[in-house]
Structure 1
Amino acid sequence: MTSETTLNPALTDWNGLNGLPRFEAVSDDDFAPAFEAALKEHEAEIDAIASNPDAPTFENTVIALEIAGDSLSRVSALFWNRAGAHTNDAIQALEREIAPKMSRHYSKIGMNATLFQRIDTLWENRETLGLNTEATRVLERHWKGFVKSGAKLPTDEQERLAAINEKLAALGASFGQNVLADEKSWSLILSDEAELTGLPPFLTDAMASAARERGEEGKYAVTLSRSIIEPFLTFSENRELREQAFKAWAARGENGGDTDNREIVRETLALRSDMAKLLGYGNYAELKLDNTMAKTADAVNDLLKAVWAKALKRAGEEEADIAELIAREGKNHEVMPWDWRHYAEKIRAEKFDFSEAELKPYLQLEKIIDACFDVASRLFGIRAVEKKGVPAYHPDVRVFEIRDRDDKLIALFLGDYFARSSKRSGAWMSAFQSQHKLPLKNGRHGELPIIYNVCNFAKPAEGKPALLSLDDARTLFHEFGHALHGMLSNVTYPSVSGTSVSRDFVELPSQLYEHWLTVPDILKQYAVHVETGAPMPQTLLDKVLAARTFNAGFNTVEFTSSALVDMTFHTREAVEDPMTVQAEILGEIGMPKSIVMRHATPHFQHIFSGGYSAGYYSYMWSEVLDADAFSAFEETGDAFNGETARKLKDNIYSVGGAIDPEDAYRAFRGKLPSPEAMLRKKGLAATEELSGSDA
């Protein structure tokens, strides 16, 4: 079964366009035997490195580790893409099996005493090896990785750590699958026209398409896809339906039965605490924050709490405005979470004289994709060439070549934009293959980055253009910013390529890129009406720009409450009942009854299945950086200033983890930022608070 003759070569021999995988040649049944063979091959490579009779050198140990496991990397890249973006029962069953098996495999490598001895010898003698900065960081990454994998622990504790990692991998896979199951299984089918009161055509079109997908032709489905649920909560005039939909959205992972995540959360937190103690840390947050920019939980909480106070004050003012509008409408109910988006949109329309529905016809998906590419061209001199007819992992996925000023191919990019029931919610960037320059065993020298973006925009009816909300458009720019971080990478070693940076630095390139969406020149060129082709009127553009900080209190309270709960979970000695702790923390910080956490604990995938445990704060940490970084362009008076763009590319987008993030940022900006520019961007800082700021 695992002999090479029975394995599908399409899993590891990628001979599609410019080295793209031939997705159409891979079936679900191919993965299990391929994983078995690839794991054995990687194990043999590791054993060969560890047992090398020659004295350890950077080349025969570190570089050998860097290029080992190529087959496993390829099989994994294809599998995890399918598990996240186009899954099914067979893939999910294999995911539950593979996640702990992969953990077991890497635990065994991390606890290989002979291999660690070689790495440790190199680390102790690093000053004599003649390594440059990047090579030194690669060595450090390997050394720290071994230490955090338990290489210095006694055997019994190593075995305990390996068991913890294996169980955590299984729990994380189950957590994500449970959320997807809850999202997939729930829908609110509407058939009475009266139930559609207030809903704009773009939303009813998307709901009709979702109903058809569920076999309800001629009806309308409210689903838990963000691209449908959020506009429904915004525009529906039916408060009872809003409440019903909101409560289903908020209850993902908390519905009892097989998909309930609360016990998974409790067990996950207990295991993470045990892991941290085994490795000599006071708590799991200490373990995760080691080697980040923030460094300590206190530094994180200081930032979060300072912003929380300002956000809470602003949210109180926003809630008072909503309560006043409810009263003006002759109603007497209090402001509840299913009311906020609805009335905030009415206030925005009133205050700034435009609505999301008025804006949406100017935000066509095709045009915003073009805008993403144009900004990259102006800043970094690259262009995207779509390759029609090239098969990808789903018919909706589009393939692009990314070329530089000299027409040299530098990357492949895949865009997967529409929601479907086989795709987990949210938006993300990932890589099938990361850039590097090392010679490989197959004869290739270095590799081209193959990067993809996944989004969940509402798919329009056949023949109609996809229209985005302003938040959707920001999401597209955000994820393409991550993609650029991968595609512009220019490093030697794969382990520091692209987005392989500290968690609280990785969001800088993505959040920074969002700024160019609302540069007036970009909006004027690409925000054109879907029917007339006319550019967005200057009056509407001015209103959009003036409203950028509208509802900032609500948005920041949603986020910051989630980040504070995350940090509490991972700094507490023990969390016996996570839901009680969540309620306790929200009570302590004064969480308004009218707002809920952006990600309640039972569906908080970022921290329980997505790699952001004790790290959700990093979006705000990076926001401090991105606000200051964009100020570098504003100070020149040109959002596309060539010299500033060159420094941005050379010091941020292309260096990956090859240099320390603080050094990278200083090389770009000349200094580290303070939070004031971020607070100003959010509209949470008074003018006098900014005096004397270096932002």
Structure 2
Amino acid sequence: MALDSTNPVLAASDLPYGLPDFAAISDDDFLPAYDIALAEHLAEVDAIASNSEPATFANTIEALENSGRALARANGIFFNLEGPDSNPQRAQIAQTLAVRLTEHSNTIAMNSALFARIDEVHAARETSGLTGPQRRLTEQRYRAVVRAGAALDDDGQAQMREWSSRLAALTTDFGQRLLDDTNASAVLFDDVADLDGLSTGEIAAARRAAADAGHDDGWLVTLELPTSQGSVAKLTAPKSRRRVFEASVNRCSHGGDHDTRAMVLEIVDLRARRARLLGYATHADFVIAEETAPDSQTVADLLSNLGAAAMAAAESELAGLRRRFDGSFGPADVTFALAQNTGTGDAPSVDEFEQYCELEAVLVDGVFAAAHALYGLTLTERPDLRGYHPDVRVWEVSRDGDGVGLFLGDFFARPSKRGGAWMNNIVDQSRTLGTSPIIVNVSNLTKPETGEKCLLTFDQLITVFHEFGHAIHGLLSDVDYVSQSGTSVPRDFVEFPSQVNEMWALHPDVVAGYARHHSTGEPAPAALLDAVRASTATETAHSTVEYLAAAALDLAWHRLGPDDVPTDVLAFEARALAEVGLASDLIPPRYRTAYFNHVFGGGYSSAYYSYIWSEVLDAETEQWFLAGGGLQRELGRRFADAVLSKGDSEDPVRAHASMLGRAAQITPLLARRGLVGVGE
């Protein structure tokens, strides 16, 4: 293991929990570090493959599991930097590594001697006295190498190498083009009156963004990752709303260097060909074979059934908005009208709640306090520890007095950061390796002016709770093997713990801690809290249709065979939405194809449905918590012991059913989404 290397990326860290010494690492160190780490890993694998002793779990599967530690360290550092703090050099390194790492993985998977040993251990897994996690790890390792091409003939393996390398380059380039076009598509206003509806802080941030972009005058409204933009829900001028909305919805599909449409078609084609080579009808079938959903048709049926109910609800919702809206009504007006609709009647406007959601209070007295009440987690900020960017903060995490790991928070937007919010692992927990988790939450909040406070919209509030749910999943991991740690679960299960954590945002015992006016310190009025809860009792039909349309698009693209790939991205998109009854002139998908980074630049291809699939478990678990008394340490302990701590060392859905005492049902989800009885 090269952790004593003089290369600072690989050098052993004497910081708490092995936190990388980011200050000592330069971008010039990464490729030399990978030269060392990749060679070392191949040497370790060759030693395992050439072992003259009979193959056993210990000398083959476990040895593979414990190999490549230097490479894991390099990946944990570099890919944590590349998303939230990119630059031209890092973008180029990412392109280089996309191909090199894919070729490296192919070389290992297609090592015939290694595959023979894995096959031998796999064949004896039921009779060799393996523990449950060991047997599961053996099965996972076997399936992984077969799905990577280990069982193909020489020609098939050569084809797999070519396609996999090309896909790695394309998906990396997709994300970089999207980041560039999202920055380039920010909307410049030359009259501050056009920004009426935005807060003073948001207007100041827009002026700062314009200055940072080199504009002597004006206000630059930057874009968020999804189609719907928070600013569009607030801007009172219809023309301003339309400018921002159209900039968002047309990203990466207007020609030029940032256009991704040709890339999408090539990605879809190569994925379909690779799936067919491996014996699957489509890429969706290839992906879903490893998820908790039984097959792609089951997913398609779920989306179709929910879509029909959601569109019926949306038509009713839109009709009500039209009646209340003054003037012409187009897609750029829907979220604005929805926001205005929440303030009708005698109840206070839910927009006022933002004044009671200051980031620091939400974190310390909301998110962290709930984690302490439920799981015994305590977060202590460590200003002496440095993150990878000056905005990154570091907390040490303990549980009932025992050290657990580190949590890093990177909350504010910047041009070098890709849009959205996510959780990263710098280090994964493993008892075998003796490693503790180092977890990062990344988001894109507007950074306040010096001396001002960061106030969260309701959606941002929920996102902060959601992402920390992922962090909890990683922090509470208690498994032997690193590949089964924390969030290393099937894609359509990974969102479940984070969605569960959203329920605490408005729980009376939690909201009382953080919901104080940012300037007066007064607690949020009961009437305001009641209005917020009432407005969020069910999802808006608009939000449900947005999501389902994106999930349906993902599935439609990836249920194509190699001979079915179209030539016109936008025409296929329109046809696919119409075929599932989710085409709406007023409600575009949450992500249109050309900027669907989850699917074409990230790891969610054929799996964007996972949010709604996980929500079935989430809605059931929310009812389980509430029936047991809510924010109770005993319930948190049971949830952690049964599900969160297990990672993928057990079947996660079976573990959840064991906690509930039965399989989850869809009824609580339908009620939450306001779809019970809709369209019947």
Say whether the fold is shared (TM-score over 0.5): yes
Partner of 1:684: 675
Partner of 1:442: none
Distance (whole Å) between structure 2 residues aligned to residue 480 and residue 126 of structure 1: 37
Amino acid across the alignment from 1:673: A
Aligned residues: 674
**CA shift at 1:356, angstroms?**
4.8
Q: Does 1:455 align with 2:443?
A: yes
Q: Does 1:624 align with 2:619?
A: no
**CA shift at 1:218, angstroms?**
6.2
Partner of 2:605: 613
Preserved CA contact (<8 Å) 1:234 1:341: yes
Preserved CA contact (<8 Å) 2:539 2:673: no
Match of 1:553 among 541, 545, 550: 541
Preserved CA contact (<8 Å) 1:318 1:553: yes
**CA shift at 1:10, angstroms?**
4.1
Counting only pairs closer than 5 Å after superposition, residues 648-659 of structure 1 correspond to structure 2 as 648-659=639-650
Preserved CA contact (<8 Å) 1:208 1:220: yes
Distance (whole Å) between structure 2 residues aligned to residue 38 and residue 345 of structure 1: 52
TM-score, scaled relative to structure 2: 0.96
Partner of 1:508: 496
Q: Does 1:432 align with 2:426?
A: yes
Preserved CA contact (<8 Å) 2:554 2:605: yes
**CA shift at 1:291, angstroms?**
2.7
Distance (whole Å) between structure 2 residues aligned to residue 193 and residue 424 of structure 1: 27
Amino acid across the alignment from 2:393: R
Q: Does 1:391 align with 2:386?
A: yes
Partner of 2:565: 575
Amino acid across the alignment from 1:661: P
Counting only pairs closer than 5 Å after superposition, residues 252-267 of structure 1 correspond to structure 2 as 252-267=251-266
Counting only pairs closer than 5 Å after superposition, residues 45-56 of structure 1 correspond to structure 2 as 45-56=44-55
Please give the per-residue CA displacement for 1:591-630, whole angstroms capped at 9, x wherever unaligned.
2211111000011011111100000000000001100011
Distance (whole Å) between structure 1 residues aligned to residue 61 and residue 152 of structure 2: 22
Preserved CA contact (<8 Å) 1:172 1:609: yes
Runs (4 or more) in structure 1 with deviation over 6 Å come to 3-6
**CA shift at 1:247, angstroms?**
1.0
Counting only pairs closer than 5 Å after superposition, residues 408-427 of structure 1 correspond to structure 2 as 408-427=402-421
Distance (whole Å) between structure 2 residues aligned to residue 525 and residue 610 of structure 1: 36
**CA shift at 1:269, angstroms?**
0.5
Distance (whole Å) between structure 2 residues aligned to residue 467 and residue 430 of structure 1: 24
Partner of 1:377: 372
**CA shift at 1:667, angstroms?**
1.7
Distance (whole Å) between structure 2 residues aligned to residue 563 and residue 291 of structure 1: 18
Partner of 2:282: 283
Preserved CA contact (<8 Å) 1:383 1:402: yes
Amino acid across the alignment from 1:531: S
Distance (whole Å) between structure 2 residues aligned to residue 616 and residue 590 of structure 1: 16
Match of 1:486 among 443, 468, 474: 474
Distance (whole Å) between structure 2 residues aligned to residue 569 and residue 469 of structure 1: 33
Partner of 1:443: none
Partner of 2:362: 368
**CA shift at 1:4, angstroms?**
11
SS in 2 for 1:128: coil
**CA shift at 1:550, angstroms?**
6.0
**CA shift at 1:549, angstroms?**
4.1
SS in 2 for 1:416: strand
Task: Go from structure 1 to structure 2 and tell me whether the alpha carbon gap of 1:613 and 1:170 turns closer, same or farther (over 3 Å shift).
Answer: same
Preserved CA contact (<8 Å) 1:226 1:456: no
Task: Go from structure 1 to structure 2 and tell me whether the alpha carbon gap of 1:550 and 1:200 turns closer, same or farther (over 3 Å shift).
Answer: farther
TM-score, scaled relative to structure 1: 0.94
Distance (whole Å) between structure 1 residues aligned to residue 480 and residue 297 of structure 2: 35
SS in 2 for 1:566: helix
Match of 1:343 among 337, 340, 355: 337
Task: Go from structure 1 to structure 2 and tell me whether the alpha carbon gap of 1:387 and 1:274 turns closer, same or farther (over 3 Å shift).
Answer: same
**CA shift at 1:310, angstroms?**
1.5
Task: Go from structure 1 to structure 2 and tell me whether the alpha carbon gap of 1:355 and 1:200 turns closer, same or farther (over 3 Å shift).
Answer: farther
Match of 1:669 among 660, 667, 670: 660
Match of 1:587 among 558, 578, 588: 578
Q: Does 1:13 align with 2:12?
A: yes
Task: Go from structure 1 to structure 2 and tell me whether the alpha carbon gap of 1:458 and 1:392 turns closer, same or farther (over 3 Å shift).
Answer: same
Q: Does 1:526 align with 2:530?
A: no
Partner of 2:109: 110
Distance (whole Å) between structure 2 residues aligned to residue 216 and residue 518 of structure 1: 41
SS in 1 for 2:308: helix
Partner of 2:244: 245
**How high is the sequence identity, in percent, across the aligned residues?**
37
Distance (whole Å) between structure 2 residues aligned to residue 613 and residue 245 of structure 1: 28
Match of 2:651 among 653, 660, 676: 660
Distance (whole Å) between structure 1 residues aligned to residue 160 and residue 255 of structure 2: 30
Counting only pairs closer than 5 Å after superposition, residues 163-182 of structure 1 correspond to structure 2 as 163-182=162-181
Counting only pairs closer than 5 Å after superposition, residues 117-196 of structure 1 correspond to structure 2 as 117-196=116-195
Please give the per-residue CA displacement for 1:370-402, whole angstroms capped at 9, x wherever unaligned.
111111111111100100132110000000111
**CA shift at 1:209, angstroms?**
2.9
**CA shift at 1:686, angstroms?**
4.0
Preserved CA contact (<8 Å) 1:11 1:26: no
Distance (whole Å) between structure 2 residues aligned to residue 633 and residue 37 of structure 1: 49
**CA shift at 1:98, angstroms?**
1.0
Preserved CA contact (<8 Å) 1:203 1:231: no
Amino acid across the alignment from 2:566: E
Please give the per-residue CA displacement for 1:178-225, whole angstroms capped at 9, x wherever unaligned.
000001223222242321222222321322332232244664211113
SS in 1 for 2:143: helix
Partner of 1:642: 633
Task: Go from structure 1 to structure 2 and tell me whether the alpha carbon gap of 1:633 and 1:255 turns closer, same or farther (over 3 Å shift).
Answer: same
Distance (whole Å) between structure 1 residues aligned to residue 399 and residue 633 of structure 2: 16
Task: Go from structure 1 to structure 2 and tell me whether the alpha carbon gap of 1:239 and 1:687 turns closer, same or farther (over 3 Å shift).
Answer: closer
Listed as ranges, the gaps of 5+ residues in structure 2 are none
